[in-house]
Amino acid sequence: MLEFLTGSGLASAAGLNAYLPLLIVGLLDRYTDIIKLPHSWEWLSNPWVLGLLAGLLLIEIVADKVPVIDNVNDVIQTAIRPTSGGIVFGASAGAETTAINTPSDFFDDYAWVGVLSGVLIALAVHIAKSVLRPVINVMTVGVGAPIVSTIEDGVSAILSFVALLIPLLILFFFGGFIVLVIALLRKRKPPAQQIVYKM
């Protein structure tokens, strides 16, 4: 159960920012005892991979802050964020963390289940972000893009750490995310047209 919550939290973070959770997991595996990746996923903490992820993260952070370019970035990220979600879910589900001392063998024997789960979770979050971002851009005349993007980056980072340290809190994130999406979609609907009859 905790392995699934950890993987789900990291995959959700990847749906907001493809590279941040991968970079956090790789750095924590390389430089701390917070996470110990399974042998097959240790390449994530390779210095070359970490450098590449840091460079890609910088590009995404900048591109996601500029109106119109952020929408193009979301189109490009439609393949990248789910892939990242699958990788980070697969890597973390069998990892030892401060919250999980003895990971389940299930995700070792059926690694594809974790990867597929991560792909689907990250894709769902990415689609929600891609649908809501243009609405926010229109409502704020583009001013909201850098603000919302910065919030998304912060949420992605916080989610990544929470997923690794206190995975049960991920349940609250999912509840809050659903409420937020419903509230924003309700605002998106145009008000019913009123018919005025002249006397």
- For β-strands 96-97 and 35-36, DSSP reports them as antiparallel
How much is the mean pLDDT over the chain?
Answer: 83
Q: What is the pLDDT of residues 122-135, one digit of tens each?
A: 999 999 888 878 77
* Cα–Cα nearest to 174, from 45, 12, 27: 12
Please say if the pLDDT value at position 193 is more than 60: no
Phi first, then psi: give them for residue 80, nearest 5 degrees: -75, -45
Q: What is the pLDDT of residues 55-98, one digit of tens each?
A: 999 999 998 888 788 888 888 999 999 999 999 998 888 777 76
Question: Token pair for residue 125?
Answer: 């979050």
Residue 61 in contact with residue 42, Cβ under 8 Å? no
Cα 94 versus chain centre, distance: 19
Collapsing DSSP to helix, strand or coil, 35 comes out as strand
Please say if the pLDDT value at position 197 is more than 60: no
Of 73-82, 160-169, 180-189, minimum mean pLDDT range: 180-189
Task: Measure the CA–CA gap between 6 and 95, rounded to whole angstroms.
Answer: 10
**CA distance readout (Å), 164 to 40, 52, 130, 194:** 19, 22, 26, 51
Q: What is the pLDDT at residue 28?
A: 93
Amino acid at 37: L
